[in-house]
Amino acid sequence: MFFVPDIIEKKKRGLKLSKDEIQFIIDGYVGGSIPDYQISALLMAIYFKGMDEEETTDLTMAMAHSGEMVDLSSIDGIKVDKHSTGGIADTTTLVLLPLASSVGIKVAKMSGRGLGHTGGTVDKLESIPGFCCELDTKTFIDSVNTIGAAITGQSKNLVPADKMLYALRDVTATVDSIPLIASSIMSKKIAGGADKIILDVKFGNGAFMKTFEDAQELGQLMVKIGELAGRETVAYITDMEQPLGLAIGNAIEVVEAIEVLKGKGHEDLLELCLEFASEMMLLAKIESDKTKAVQKLKDSIETGKALAKFKEIIGNQGGDSRVIQDYSLLPKAKYQSEVAAAEDGYVNKIDAARLGLTAMKLGAGRQKKDDIIDPAVGIWIYKKVGDKVKKGEVFAKILANDEAKLSWAVDETRKAFEFTLDSIEKRKVIWAKITKDEVLKF
């Protein structure tokens, strides 16, 4: 039997907590025998003193086992999951789900809803009329075995310890602790049942991690946790100093995903999806050569196979698959306004966080968990860093259902773009790849 103040004192002094002590804390907190104020003290001690890799792994596993553990063993093949730490216009999963499935990868995807300025995959897909992301376990697994892919919202019983700890971290200023971030992310991935994991760790203005160095530290820790937990894990460090794609919203991100699958999407979003999907092919042992994997994926897009798979996924989950060809079936905003350049020049910077917050306040995201999403609103951007603009050329478009917010959003969007007369180099999307053996910088 442990005494909670002794554990708090131990961590306050910077000493290592044992596996049994960590398990005692998680069991007690979830079970209701340890109160918020003691966990708050421990979180603050962890914030200042940190945790080593073994401690963080023990915390991750204790959290993962605090509720339901998803068993995907009845799905044929190696299951590979991908997780993003969150960003703006991050439409990757909507493209990756059908693209990876179209080349034979079994994709059993559990995703969350959006909170704050980063969007949720479930919210985006539910903008498709009829699309259902609330699948029971049998339907979820049967769908993956039958058509190769399915996506469902996270079970309420999945990692309850994380939900409780995150809510407490949010009100005790302990959110930005790398061991606590790593254990939060990895506990959900491990409980989700995937055999292998790809992590998209974003950094920059529109991401939680602001610097490459912090993102690399987080990525390396999560790869180590995955290794210690018996799950091969690969992390990518990717750019979020500007939006990834061109659409910031819900219905419009579905449109952008479809455009990428038609071979017409923005090169940045396509590049990232090809990288992740080809890595998934290697991890799933579907292909052993990266170049060949990429070519198979490109062929799947060019032949329409990937797009057909998205149509099949939509139909299988009750959605109106006609949206693939008819975007008018998606929710439409009442008002729209274009934002044009005042003079010739080049895009120097884009404040991704400002655009994300603007879209959220239009209704595309949630400020509180119980806020209702407006699937129709959002922001299209037509230029990215390094792109040339001419005077009078439209570089963004606002979609709104509140006329009063429309002009405000136009002003905010204009302020988010910085222009220069000098030509600017375009930003790279992928900065590094982290495996258990090395950090490969791009």
Q: In what side-by-side order are the strands of the sheet with 335-340?
A: 247-249, 378-381, 394-400, 335-340
- What pairing do the DSSP bridges indicate for beta strands 439-441 and 388-389? unpaired
The structure's pTM equals: 0.94
Cα 253 to Cα 28, 236, 247, 394, distances in angstroms: 42, 22, 5, 19
Q: Specify the CATH number of the domain 333-420.
A: 3.90.1170.30
Segment 359-385 shows an average pLDDT of 91
Residues of the chain within CATH 3.40.1030.10 domain(s) are 80-324+431-435
Alpha-carbon distance of 281 to 91, in angstroms, equals 20
Closest CA to 90 of 219, 309, 298, 240: 240
Q: Tens digits of per-residue pLDDT, 23-55?
A: 999 999 999 999 999 999 999 999 999 999 999
- Residue 115 confidence (pLDDT) above 80: no
pLDDT of 16 > 90? The answer is: yes
Cα separation, 420 vs 385, in Å, equals 10
Tokens read off for 147? 């058509």
Q: How far apart are CA 324 and CA 308, in angstroms?
A: 9
Tokens matching residue 76: 């044929």
pLDDT digits (tens, 9 = 90+) for 211-237: 999 999 999 999 999 999 999 999 999
Assign domain 4-50 to a CATH class.
Answer: mainly alpha
Task: Round to whole Å and give the CA distance between 94 and 257.
Answer: 6
The residues carrying an active-site annotation are 83, 162, 169, 184, 188
Which residues in the chain are classed under CATH 1.20.970.10? 4-50
Please tell me the distance from the alpha carbon of residue 257 to that of residue 202, in angstroms, as a whole number.
Answer: 20
Measured CA angle at 400 (ends 397, 402), to 5 deg? 145
**Which residues of the chain are in CATH 3.90.1170.30 domains?**
333-420
Residue 387 has φ and ψ, to the nearest 5°, of -75, 145
Q: In the structure, what pLDDT confidence band is assigned to residue 156 with cuts at 50, 70 and 90?
A: confident
Sequence-distant (≥ 6) Cβ neighbours of residue 284 within 8 angstroms: 77, 78, 79, 80, 104, 105, 106, 196
pLDDT band of 86, cuts 50, 70, 90: confident
Please report where in the chains the tokens 């799933």 appear, as a residue.
284
Helical (H) or strand (E) element with 187: helix 178-191
pLDDT band at 116 (very low <50, low <70, confident <90, very high): low
Taken in order 326, 327, 329, 335, the sign of the CA dihedral is negative
Strands (E), 308-344: 335-340
The rounded distance, in Å, linking the Cα atoms of 42 and 36 is 10
Percent of the chain surpassing pLDDT 70? 98
Amino acid, single-letter form, for residue 311: K
**219 vs 440: CA distance, rounded Å:** 12
Structural tokens at position 390:
């001419």
What gap in Å lies between CA 234 and CA 3, rounded to an integer? 38
Amino acid at 212: F
Which helix (H) or strand (E) element contains residue 150?
A: strand 149-153
CATH number of 80-324+431-435: 3.40.1030.10
Exposure b/e, 403-441, CB count within 10 A at least 16 = b: eebbeebbebbeebbebeeeebeebebbbbbbeeeeeee
